[in-house]
Chain A
């Protein structure tokens, strides 16, 4: 290390970081030359814990991989078990899952937007976004009895049926949000100061995407089709990542307005759940698309009441590999903004 470079450790606990992690930076002035990432501070050995618990109580541990995206982990896990058991999920449960998935994606994106606004110190937009997200969390509470760590899905259906008036509330929320879209556009996306700050920042290049097998909204923001739609954005930068999420939220609300009319009557689960449930021996690999990208689970059953082996592949595991190349050459004060703009969940990385 030459004399004019400065080593700086950022973290493990730091308000500019998206979780408990550490950035070991080498700076020249305030320009980042090199970045090393350290994880493992919040490792909870979840994959190992799943082997010690029966199939039903596994959902509680699956939730903890990432509390905010808990629905998608439950969904991947439930689908894997359903495939091993060859279950046909009732139509009503499928629709409820789809509605829940849309709400979870919207909630995740809104949380992302709120955090981005917070890290940019754009308080007004931060409060506007949290106002909408609170309503969605209320809906989660109505549906599953919890605002995060839902423990709602089961293999073969969902744990509880939707309550009376739930669909109407989802429809009202969708309508209200779509009416407020213009307000969001004016306050956030037509704001010159925000565009100037994020435009051209940390561009995700195609070779990086291929090298680290990235997917999800970060990659969609870097595709030519998306970048054509943006004003002042060059595609793949932090601004396009923020805009892609907002566009996704609008699309999901539009989809929700159609979905609420398509919930058929019938059963919401296949059977009464108990802890003696066992899954036939076999091996399965299942994936679902979360709001960060693809979540995959590799599940092996030996025909007993507990899984033999469970392994998860999470989107944040892949995103973190791209961070050193994205931070290189940027000033230090942009490091937090770049990290948050990638929608990184340290909880997902550590597991």
Chain B
């Protein structure tokens, strides 16, 4: 590959990411957060946002505009390194699936290592925080950011063992091809896929659900100092994007994805419809998780860690051993 073509590829990546960010991610985020807030408000016997746009659809945008005039308080002990690393981890998380809708001929998760890629990105993002992120002296963050990042690292242990078991069992390392092997249509919610039943509800499934429903990395990427409007959107978007990414991962692997071109045709429009169906299913999964979360007491990191090391990790090991046998 010549340097010229590398530059073209890089620009194409940046361009597609920016297009995706402003014309797909932001509208989805605003619409989804409005829907989510309305549904939760209904569950909790209150009205919910209703001033920002029609029925509060633009409430997130209004919050952004309101808070753009305000600054986050400057923390006395916070140096520049703290927010640089959180920004890097945020960028890494955003890198996940970034080129999905724009380059359907080479989709991100059709690549040969796509089963591992999300995991690697999350491990990198957590490591950035654990190793380089700066803790602050006030009580709320002493046990905050690092603990959450460490929990994500813990979660990667059962996921890694489970994924390894899956790879050994099936000989496949592509996310979409594995999803296709389940034999379920993208228009169904076939969670009992025909292939690899032992992994259907293994540790990968449950750990993925934890990351989808209640990400322990909630505070990662919120150490920045600046305009509160930007910080709010950056934090919320990162959180949404992280949950959304795992929801897509789970949808393709467990909730019926089929493959691009199977039902909707192999044209560009067919690929687009296929992506839209996957996105809608992932969003529905997120909504379900949100409603479930609001009906329960908040889960603590200790409980998550207990679940990971006492149940999910042994389950992943059992899967790995069985697949080797």
Contact = CB atoms under 8 A, between A and B. Distances in A.
Contacts of A121: 297-298
A2 interface: no
B44 A123 contact: yes
A332 B294 CA distance: 24
A332 B143 contact: yes
- Among B43, B143, B296, the most chain A Cβ lie within 10 Å of the Cβ of B296
Interface residues of B, number: 16
A171 B300 CA distance: 41
A191 B300 contact: no
B43 A124 contact: yes
B143 A128 contact: no
Contacts of B295: 124, 187, 191
A14 B44 CA distance: 26
Interface in B125-159: 139, 142-143
B46 A122 contact: no
Q: B interface, by DSSP: helix, strand, loop or mixed?
A: loop
B299 interface: yes
A331 interface: yes
Nearest to A122: B297
A332 B296 CA distance: 21
A187 B296 CA distance: 9
A191 B46 contact: no
Interface string B285-302: 000000000111111101
Interface in B283-325: 294-300, 302
Nearest to B299: A193
B7 interface: no
Given A127-B44, A127-B46, A331-B302, A120 B297 contact: yes
A224 to B, nearest CB: 27
**Which of A14, A120, A123 gathers the greatest number of chain B CB atoms within 10 Å?**
A123
Contacts of A122: 296-298
Contacts of A194: 296-297
Interface residues of A, number: 20
B77 to A, nearest CB: 16
Nearest to B46: A127
A14 B140 CA distance: 9
Contact of B297 (A128, A131, A193, A331): A193
A30 B143 CA distance: 9
Residue from B43, B294, B297, B298 whose CB has the most chain A CB atoms within 10 Å? B297
Contact of B296 (A14, A30, A191, A331): A191
A235 B225 CA distance: 47
Contact of A10 (B40, B139, B299): B139
B45 A128 contact: yes
Contacts of A187: 295
Interface in A174-198: 187, 191, 193-194, 197
A333 interface: yes
B154 to A, nearest CB: 16
Nearest to A194: B297
A8 B138 CA distance: 10
Interface string A111-151: 00000000011111001100100000000000000000000
Interface in B34-63: 40, 43-46
A331 B295 CA distance: 25
B239 to A, nearest CB: 16
Given A10-B139, A333-B302, A193 B296 contact: yes
A26 to B, nearest CB: 15
Contacts of A191: 295-297
Contacts of A120: 297-298
A343 B43 CA distance: 28
A14 B45 contact: no
B297 A124 contact: no
Given A127-B44, A333-B143, 8 more contacts: A120-B298, A122-B297, A123-B40, A124-B44, A128-B45, A191-B297, A193-B299, A194-B297
Interface of B: 40, 43-46, 139, 142-143, 294-300, 302
